[in-house]
Amino acid sequence: MSDLLYSEEEEALRRAVRDLLADRCDAATVLARAEAPAAEGPHDRELWKALTEGMGLAGLLVPEELGGQGATHREAAVVLEELGRAVAPVPYLTSAVVATEALLACGGSEAAELLSALAAGRTVGALAVGLATAPGAPFQDVRHDAGALHGELTGIADAAGADILLVPADDGALYAVHTAQDGVTVTPRTSLDLTRPLAAVTFEAAAARELTRGADAAVRRGLRAGAALLASEQLGIAEWCLTETVRYTKERHQFNRPVGSFQALKHRLAELWLEVVNTRAAARNAADALAADSTDADVAAALAQAYAAPVAVHAAEEALQLHGGIGMTWEHPVHLYLKRAKADSIAYGTAGRHREALAELVDLQAP
């Protein structure tokens, strides 16, 4: 049985990422980024550069021979916990996890070239499949005709900041498309979560390079990794909400007592602590199953997402309420966590969709 405790190396990685985020991604910085003009882009480029070129984190899942770190999903999960704790506006999940996993399923020189570029961090990739698509669910594609792509895809996370899109087509292949070329239009859409923007992408005779004839397998591998490791991001969100709420209820006084000393609030926070602890176990199990290429990886991913999404939303809602309403002001960061938790709750499949998938995987018949 795998050890789900954090290793010394993983804790060292956590400290390094947390220190960097404390310096460059505090709440005021994230809010300023959310208010920045569209011309500056949806992501914090300087933070992304520090995480990728400075620390090499974009290449954790990329083999060393392709310029990556050759690490595992466990280390990537630790990074996502910290990025979730800071609601960092960077495309780590979409580029360094989902797009990278899809490319790893492709094989071939084209995919290897792109993996090296993504590992270096100077190129950002995105899988052009709607963010709400669950692993195993049908997904949209576009028409491929005479070496070019035609059509529109919607709900693509981080497409507005991507350099390369991985696009499934109706001929069953997966193609790579540069977003800066003629024939590609990326139109930002209004997103609940401003730190992970969505966009629609239109292809009008856009030139494309074929990556694999098996788009289905590549897309499903990318989505499964996204769903499994999203649980670690949700864990980070929930932990921040719990920690900050406990701190606040110790400081705020009513009737000459800290409000956190009231029994009703103690019970609510204790229940939330249990939910967070259980979420950590589910998220670590999912990351470890992917790292070990376990035959139970599908079960672990579905279980993690079925549990983590409601907990992150519950933690953010409790934080908002127990902060006495101040969390709904723009200046307080709680609304950032609530929006990220809400958006994450439908990313890569809802909790209900994952419960249905889990029931099928373990052959649990409905009553």
CATH of the domain at 134: 2.40.110.10
Q: How many CB atoms lie within 10 A of CB 64?
A: 11
Considering its fold, how many domains does the chain have in total?
3
What is the number of alpha carbons within 13 Å of residue 273 lying toward its C-beta? 10
- For residue 22 the two structure tokens come to 């404390």
Has residue 168 been placed in a domain?
A: yes
- 271 and 247 co-located in one domain: yes
- Assigned domain for 367 exists: no
| Cα–Cα separations (whole angstroms), residue 245 to 192, 314, 321 | 23, 13, 9
Say yes or no to pLDDT of 328 above 80: no
Tell me the per-residue pLDDT of 202-211, one tens digit each, with 9 for 90 and over: 999 999 999 9
Same-domain check for residues 176 and 93: no
**Which phi and psi (to 5°) does residue 67 adopt?**
95, 5
Flag whether pLDDT at 269 surpasses 90: yes
- In this structure, the answer to whether residues 221 and 335 fall within a common structural domain is yes
Same domain, 221 and 324: yes
Domain harbouring 234, CATH code:
1.20.140.10
pLDDT score, position 151:
98
- Per-residue pLDDT, averaged over 70-79, amounts to 98
The mean per-residue pLDDT over the stretch 129-137 comes to: 96
Query: 189 and 241 share a domain?
Result: no
Residue 41 is predicted with a pLDDT of 72
pLDDT at 325: 66
Based on the domain organization, do 154 and 184 belong to the same domain? yes
Q: Which residues of 332-355 are buried (b: 16+ CB within 10 A; e: fewer)?
A: bbbbbbbbbbbbbbbbbbbbebbb
In this predicted model, which residue has the larger pLDDT, 156 or 194?
Answer: 156
Query: Do 31 and 143 fall into the same domain?
Result: no
Q: Which amino acid, 324? A: G
Q: What is the pLDDT of residue 367?
A: 65
Percent above pLDDT 70 for the chain: 97
227 and 338 housed in the same domain: yes
Alpha carbon distance, N-terminus to C-terminus of the chain: 32
Lowest mean per-residue pLDDT among 149-153, 186-190, 201-205: 186-190
Work out the pLDDT band at 329, boundaries 50, 70, 90: confident
- How far is residue 280's CA from residue 4's CA, in Å, rounded to a whole number? 9
* Mean pLDDT of the 43-54 span: 94
Are residues 80 and 140 located together in one domain of the fold?
no
* Residues 168 and 178 occupy one common structural domain: yes
Residue ranges making up the domain that contains 166: 125-213
